[in-house]
Amino acid sequence: MRDFTRIEAWQLADELTVAIYEATRGFPREEAYGLTSQIRRAAYSVPADLAEGASRDSKRDYLHFLHIARGSLAETQYFAHLSGRLGYLAEPDRARLADQARSAFACLHGLIAAVEEEAEPMQCRAHLHGYGMNRETREGTRT
């Protein structure tokens, strides 16, 4: 069994989930069972699916959960975008969440590629090489 807490894609997804929870605290009450619930569910599904996949013995099962996590991450990205368009997130907060989601997505993409190559990565190759990040992020604005 893999230690999912050592997988960088999980770490980035976990950080994104916490950031989503913090950002959605100020959403309107009428969204409690709507957008607030949806974006939070999509966000926490990503690290949860990475954790579940890491517990699987077969590469095929692991990849299945990695792909599910990728879909949940895409949902999270959309809901953050929608939240910004609806005025629930200030632009700096929306942009920060978008950057975190892009970094997590790039890392997850690298993890999927590595598992497909039958590697057992604990660090994200894509993240380390700047794959999928904008120029500003690669030049050091990411902490």
CATH at 101: 1.20.1440.60
DSSP state of 141: I
pLDDT for res 54: 94
Query: Distance between CA 74 and CA 11 in Å, rounded?
Result: 17
pLDDT beyond 90 at 132: no
What whole-number distance in Å separates Cα of residue 9 and Cα of residue 110?
9
Specify the pLDDT at position 1.
Answer: 74
Tell me what the mean pLDDT of segment 54-82 comes to: 96
Q: How far apart are CA 68 and CA 97, in angstroms?
A: 20
Give the integer Cα–Cα distance in Å for 88 and 106.
26
Average predicted confidence (pLDDT) for the chain:
86
Confidence class for position 2, pLDDT limits 50, 70, 90:
confident
- In this prediction, residue 11 carries a pLDDT of 97
- Our measurement of the distance from residue 128's CA atom to the centroid of its chain's CA atoms, rounded to an integer in Å, reads 16
Question: Residue 134 — pLDDT band, cuts 50, 70, 90?
Answer: very low
For residue 21, give the amino acid letter.
Y
Domain count, the chain: 1
**Rounded to two decimals, what is the model's pTM?**
0.81
pLDDT at site 36: 97
The boundaries of the domain holding residue 135 are 4-141
Q: What is the DSSP letter of 137?
A: I
